[in-house]
Amino acid sequence: MADWTGVAGRRVVITGATNGIGLAGAKALAARGAQLTIVARSQARAAGAAAQITAAGAGARVDTLIADLASQASIRRLAAEIQDRYPRLDVLVNNAGAINSSRQLTEDGIEMTWAVNHLAPFLLTTLLLERLRQSAPARVITTASDAHKGAHIPFDDLNAERSYRNFGFARYGETKLANILFTAELARRLAGTGVTANCFHPGFVATGFNRNNGPLMNVAMTIARPFARSVEKGAETLVWLVDSPQVASESGGYFVDKKRATPTDTAQDVEAARRLWEISEKQTQAVGVPS
């Protein structure tokens, strides 16, 4: 396909579409005629989401792929399956993410929040880059957050052995900073290929976010809920970044409410972005590294 006239008829792979911002975004994209593939870690949740998305898309077919984004082996299988199934990949949306109030390690020996929020988008995107390039114009969109404000990448403590604090919020902020740095470096590396990379902050949205951290956090999220926006509103910038011809030549951007925004100075540190990329390459080759 040549010029970008919208998402209708285009293959979109989206993670984290079983709930919250991803599910609302997937429904809106299905309604616009996208050919959707959702990635989920549970077959039952995938089927439930697909039924809702199909209904929103007036019967649109939704493909489901199963992968646990905490596992690098699972991400590798997922990337292979995507490449087997789809000769074209027009949009990859790295939306899945979570906060964990206590530190856990993945099967790869990586701290869980870092693995799911940063390394999973990094690994999935880099494994699919050739397919995206062949499909140009193509787009990579990552759900970041204003929670990056005040965060720094702990280059001397990448697995957060010493720096896990504030019920996981500090770590979460680091991963969201990593999303922005990853997007900037990806855009730099993809310049001139027709593949763009952008990320966004959805606002504070009433989702399943932080509902996995016990009764205290559940109560806190319930109290905060009246101040949160709807999932539809939270997904608006995601949908716009996927669909709109207006952003065809935007790359490396951080967007809030469908406008280009300026992230923190740390998030604009070109050297940190380059360093993070190189470290992420090493971390995604490492399997079974002890903590």
Ligand X SMILES: NC(=O)c1ccc[n+]([C@@H]2O[C@H](COP(=O)([O-])OP(=O)(O)OC[C@H]3O[C@@H](n4cnc5c(N)ncnc54)[C@H](OP(=O)(O)O)[C@@H]3O)[C@@H](O)[C@H]2O)c1
Contact pick of 4, 16, 60, 111 for ligand X (by CB under 6 A): 16
Contact pick of 31, 33, 45, 189 for ligand X (by CB under 6 A): 45
Is 68 a binding residue for ligand X by CB under 6 A? The answer is yes
- Nearest distance from residue 80's CB to ligand X, in Å? 17
Closest by Cα among 24, 23, 16, 111 to 69: 16
172 is catalytic: yes
Contact pick of 7, 12, 13, 21 for ligand X (by CB under 6 A): 21
> What is the rounded CA–CA span in Å between residue 275 and residue 280?
9
- Nearest distance from residue 234's CB to ligand X, in Å? 6
Query: Cα–Cα distances in Å, from 100 out to 1, 20, 39, 132, 210?
Result: 41, 17, 21, 31, 7
Is 98 a binding residue for ligand X by CB under 6 A? The answer is yes
Q: How open is the CA angle 259-10-197, to the nearest 5 degrees?
A: 40
> What is the rounded CA–CA span in Å between residue 186 and residue 219?
38
Is 95 a binding residue for ligand X by CB under 6 A? The answer is yes
Cis, bond preceding 263 (omega within 30 deg of 0):
no
The residues in 151-190 that bind ligand X, with binding defined as CB under 6 A, are none
Q: Which is nearer to ligand X, 139 or 148 (CB)?
A: 148
> What is the rounded CA–CA span in Å between residue 61 and residue 49?
12
Q: Which is nearer to ligand X, 96 or 141 (CB)?
A: 96
The stretch near ligand X (CB under 6 A) out of 64-72, 76-84, 184-192, 269-277 is 64-72
- Nearest distance from residue 91's CB to ligand X, in Å? 16
Which string of b and e fits 218-247 if b means at least 16 CB within 10 Å? eeebeeeeeebbebebbbbbbbbbbbeeeb
- Nearest distance from residue 136's CB to ligand X, in Å? 25
Contact pick of 29, 91, 110, 116 for ligand X (by CB under 6 A): 116
CA dihedral 34, 233, 230, 261 (to 10 degrees): 120
The torsion angles phi and psi of 208, rounded to 5 degrees, stand at -85, 5
Q: Where do contacts with ligand X occur on this chain (CB under 6 A)?
A: 15-16, 18-22, 40-42, 45, 68-70, 95-98, 116, 143, 145, 201-202, 204-205, 207-209
